[in-house]
Structures are given as structure tokens and as C-alpha cells.
Amino acid sequence: MTLFNLFRRGSAPVARERLQILLAHERVARSQPDLLGLLREEILAVISRHVAFEPDKVQIKMDRGRSVSTLEVEIEIPNAPGFSLAKAS
Amino acid sequence: MAQVLVVTSGKGGVGKTTSTAALGAALAQNGDKVVVIDFDVGLRNLDLVMGAERRVVFDLINVINGVAKLPQALIRDKRLENLHLLPASQTRDKDALTEDGVAKVIEELKGKFDWIICDSPAGIERGATLAMRHADSAIIVTNPEVSSVRDSDRIIGLLDSKTVKAERGDRIDKHLLITRYSAGRAARGEMLTIEDVLEILSTPLLGIIPESEEVLRASNIGTPVTLANALSAPARAYFDAAARLRGEQIPMVVPSEGRGLFNKLFGRKAA
């Protein structure tokens, strides 16, 4: 939405849309254990079985959308000998 | 049969204490016996809004600890003899509130009053969960604003899972009270509308309190708005909400921005 539209329509419709998406996710999250934490733990456990990485070089991003959400896991793996992805696979 | 109400919201500053005082005074003016309880240990304010701040001797925690008997701690309103206040402690730790202690106090109050109104602190910690714990029904105070609506949704989740009624498998009655509503700003698309909030929270509406300088004036002078200026727009909205709590069918009036005939004739004072 352009700035012009925002002024013309008022910001309330944006507030309404953001709340609807947010609360749809929060209501689901309430009824189940910490899904994001669980995913993070299990994904990292699987990867660490095959490659070594530093826990603080892991970035996890979540983008919640109305119909689709994305979970982005970025792990920095050092290219030292005996330590790389190529070797591990 | 006594009704236990909790006035709650999650977010602070949305009008829980103001609404507790206004609804308590409205119900008492109808002749019902009403007690309002402040659960905000350490940050009590209901005494101030009710104009009883200089008469507090004992508080809820004193009663729970057995330092004072319940009748010693109850403060009778100077204007309405059937309206009472049970203040919170200003000095104690909030951990001094115990579940058993609160249960006993509420049980004892049930024998003396028609309405027990618990003014919840903001947040979702001990004071807030104990304020809602024994409620038969809840008033969720919401401003038409994103953070308030989100927190209300969270509180509704807690009401449906953490109250005694919910744990027994019963459904706690929930009522939405929208406060600080500005019809003009909603019409211009600057503020969430009543329909937006109702659709998002899917909770029945108890009332719409318009944004008004009368609410600030009432707390300045330490008088619930339903006593300070009973003809003002917010007071009338609170009286309607109180009547709905009693089970009366009152048509919902969405406050309008335009000044009515009464206001035009008598000027701003009546606004």
C-alpha cells in the first residue's frame, strides 16, 4: 500500500488486517507447545549429527502470513577441512 | 445469588479501574449491594478513583493474613451506602496474595453483597490471574487500538482456561466493554470500528464508552463518572452497561460525534 493510499483510506484497515493475521497465529500457538522452539531444536539436532557448527551462528527467522508462513533457518558452517558440507554429505 | 465479576484487559491504561468504579456506582445506584476489590497489589488506585484514598486502614492482604477482619477492611462509600471498597495493599509484595486466601475472602463477600467486582491489575501475572480466578463473568475492557485488542485476545484465552469455572468445564460469561471510542476517528478510518473489534475478538458487547473529558474530570475529583455527572455521555453508557449486566435488554447506542440537542442547548458542560 502506498503512502497516499494510507492517508486516503486511514490506517484502521491496516490495523484490522494485521490483527487478524497475528491473532490467527497466536490462537493456534496457545493451544500447542512452543512449536518454533521445538522445530528449532529438532532441525538443529538433525544437522549437528552430520556437520559441526557454532550454535551462535544459527539464525532463525519466521514470517507469518495470512495463508502461508515461512521458516528460514540459516546456519553458518565453517569450510575447514573435515568440517565442510561436502565432506559430510 | 452474588455475582462475581472481573474487570480485566491485559494491557494497562485502558480504563479498568475507571470502569470498575463507574459500573460499581451504577449498580449501587439501582439499589444493589456492591463491593469493588482492588487486586493491584503495590499499585493500588481504585481507592483514589473512588475518592476513598484517605480512609484506607486495612486492605485485602491484611484480611488474607488474618491481621484484620473483613468488615474492618471494607470502606463504605460516602455517597452510596450500599457501595463498598476493599483496597489493595500499597506496601506488600504481590506474592502475599494466595489462592486460598482470595477464595475465602470472596466466599465471605458472597454472603453480604449482590455484586463482587474484582478490578484486575494489568498483565497476566499473579494479581491478574487471581482477580479472574473465581469470577462468574468477565468484563474485558478494550480500546479500539492494536495492542489493546491483542492483549484482550490473550486475556480471553486465560479466562477460558485458568478460571475455576473453566477448569470445571463451565463457560465463563465474557463481555466486551469498548472504552475511549471516538466515532469521528472511526468514521474517518483512523480508528478500528466497533464492528472490527467485535469481529476480531468474537465476544458479546456490553457497552461502548465514548472518549470524554468527563472521565478524566471524574477521576480528578475522586468520584465515579456515574456519580460525578450522571447525564454525561460516558456515564449514560456505563448505566446502560450496568443494566445489561442485570439482564435488561437495552439497545446498543454507538456514540456519535455530533453534539445532540441537549448539548447544543446547554453547551459543553453536558458533553
pLDDT tens for B28-41 read 999 999 999 999 99
Query: pLDDT 10s per residue in chain B (271 long)?
Result: 899 999 999 999 999 999 999 999 999 999 999 999 999 999 999 999 999 999 999 999 999 999 999 999 999 999 999 999 999 998 777 778 999 999 999 999 999 999 999 999 999 999 999 999 999 999 999 999 999 999 999 999 999 999 999 999 999 999 999 999 999 999 999 999 999 999 999 999 999 999 999 999 999 999 999 999 999 999 999 999 999 999 999 999 888 865 555 544 554 443 3
Q: Which residues of B touch A24 (CB under 8 A)?
A: none
Interface of A with B (CB under 8 A): 9-13, 15-16, 18-20, 22-23, 26-27, 30
Across the interface, whether the CB atoms of A12 and B200 are under 8 A apart is answered: no
pLDDT for position B259: 53
Residue A3 pLDDT exceeds 70: no
Across the interface, whether the CB atoms of B190 and A9 are under 8 A apart is answered: no
Across the interface, whether the CB atoms of B189 and A10 are under 8 A apart is answered: yes
A21-57 pLDDT, tens digit per residue, is 999 888 888 777 777 778 888 888 898 898 888 888 8
Interface of B with A (CB under 8 A): 145-146, 149-150, 153-154, 157, 186, 188-193, 196, 200
**Coil, strand, or helix at residue B232?**
coil
User: What is the bridge-based pairing of β-strands A70-75 and A58-63?
Assistant: antiparallel
Q: Which residues of A touch B142 (CB under 8 A)?
A: none
- Which residues touch B204 (CB under 8 Å, ≥6 apart)? B174, B175, B176
B134-180 pLDDT, tens digit per residue, is 999 999 999 999 999 999 999 999 999 999 999 999 999 999 999 99
pLDDT (mean) for A7-21: 86
- The pTM of the full predicted model, rounded to 2 decimals, is 0.85
β-sheet with B83-86: strand ranges across: B75-76, B83-86, B34-38, B115-119, B3-8, B137-142, B173-181, B205-210
